């Protein structure tokens, strides 16, 4: 079994993460699956588009950091770890994507099917990132205010 081959701390981190996700409301779990699907679908475009490579790197880095930090801090809920990772990594990624938006709008106007599909995908990814970050920053601000 895969879990048996992982070092103990990472196996425990994965087991705890899965239990924490299972305890979340169904709508939150659905949102997480949708986000993961959108980010990993960057593989479809990564060969041709820099923004897709950024999204893929962001997703992989997020996962690696989440499980590494969780393995080192088993008592901290992975939602708290994820929130900080999102703020630190996703914010600059989203800013970069917004800076590249004029280029992608030109692509969209080209009326080439690949460019249109890519532009639509990127728009959805940017919306997903924006919504997620608004939620993450909101929780962070609420915690800081008491």
Q: Is residue 132 part of a domain?
A: yes
pLDDT of 114 higher than 90: no
Given this model, what pLDDT does residue 58 score?
A: 97
Overall number of domains in the chain: 1
Q: For residue 125, how many other CB atoms are within 10 A of its CB?
A: 23
Domain assignment of residue 53, yes or no? yes
- Does residue 8 fall inside a structural domain? no
pLDDT of residue 103: 78
Evaluate whether 44 touches 105 at the Cβ level (below 8 Å).
Answer: no
The answer to whether residue 121 is domain-embedded is: yes
| Of the listed ranges 6-15, 99-108, 132-141, the one predicted with least confidence | 6-15
Question: Considering the entire predicted model, what is its pTM?
Answer: 0.86
pLDDT digits (tens, 9 = 90+) for 25-81: 899 889 999 999 999 999 999 999 999 999 999 999 999 999 888 888 888 888 899
Give SS3 for 73. Answer: coil
Domain that holds residue 58: 13-145
């Amino acid at each position: 079994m895969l879990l048996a081959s992982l070092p103990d701390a990472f196996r425990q981190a994965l087991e705890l993460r899965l239990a924490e996700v299972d305890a979340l409301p169904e709508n939150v779990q659905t949102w997480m699956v949708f986000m993961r699907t959108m980010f990993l679908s960057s593989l479809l475009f990564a060969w041709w588009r820099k923004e897709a490579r950024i999204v893929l790197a962001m997703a992989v880095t997020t996962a690696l950091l989440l499980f590494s930090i969780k393995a080192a801090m088993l008592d901290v809920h992975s939602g708290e770890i994820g929130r900080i990772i999102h703020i630190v990594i996703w914010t600059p990624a989203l800013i970069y994507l917004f800076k590249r938006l004029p280029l992608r709008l030109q692509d969209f106007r080209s009326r080439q099917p690949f460019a249109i599909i890519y532009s639509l995908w990127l728009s959805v990814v940017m919306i997903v990132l924006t919504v997620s970050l608004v939620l993450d920053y909101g929780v962070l601000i609420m915690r800081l205010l008491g």
